[in-house]
């Protein structure tokens, strides 16, 4: 990931039950981001790509779970999760229900 590459920062949105509740009640949206991305890069990428104003960014590193299939063991990849708080009055139409 390059320093100014906003398209490489956000990998995908994270849509879960908890995330949907946060979006409706607290105006927060969750994303899986590049492991080397920092809060400033995440804020710039969200504001530029999704055209909304960001109030706050929280990030957390998630370690991969150990999984097994019969006698074979493996591990899921580690990932980084970002929870982005939008300013009051801002709405993201991308995740609105139909």
Task: Pick one of 3.40.50.10300, 3.30.70.330, 3.40.50.300, 1.20.1510.10 as the CATH number of 6-66+75-88.
Answer: 3.30.70.330
> How confident is the model at residue 98, as a pLDDT?
47
> How confident is the model at residue 5, as a pLDDT?
84
| Cα 29 to Cα 34, 58, 71, 79, distances in angstroms | 16, 10, 38, 17
Per-residue pLDDT reduced to its tens digit, 28-84: 999 999 999 999 999 999 999 999 999 999 999 999 999 999 999 999 999 999 999
Contact 30, 12 (CB under 8 A): no
Cα angle: 78, vertex 62, 60; to 5 degrees:
130
What global pTM score does this model have? 0.85
Average pLDDT over residues 9-24: 92
**Helical spans, DSSP H, in the chain:** 17-26, 39-50
């Amino acid at each position: 990931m390059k320093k100014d590459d906003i398209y490489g920062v956000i990998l995908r949105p994270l849509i879960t039950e908890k995330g949907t509740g946060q979006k409706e009640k607290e105006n927060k949206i969750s994303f899986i981001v590049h492991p080397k991305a920092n809060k400033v890069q995440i804020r710039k990428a969200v504001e530029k790509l999704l055209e909304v104003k960001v109030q706050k960014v929280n990030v957390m590193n998630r370690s991969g779970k150990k999984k097994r299939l019969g006698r074979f063991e493996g591990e899921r990849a580690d990932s980084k999760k970002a929870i982005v708080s939008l300013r009051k009055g801002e709405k993201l139409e991308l995740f609105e229900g139909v």
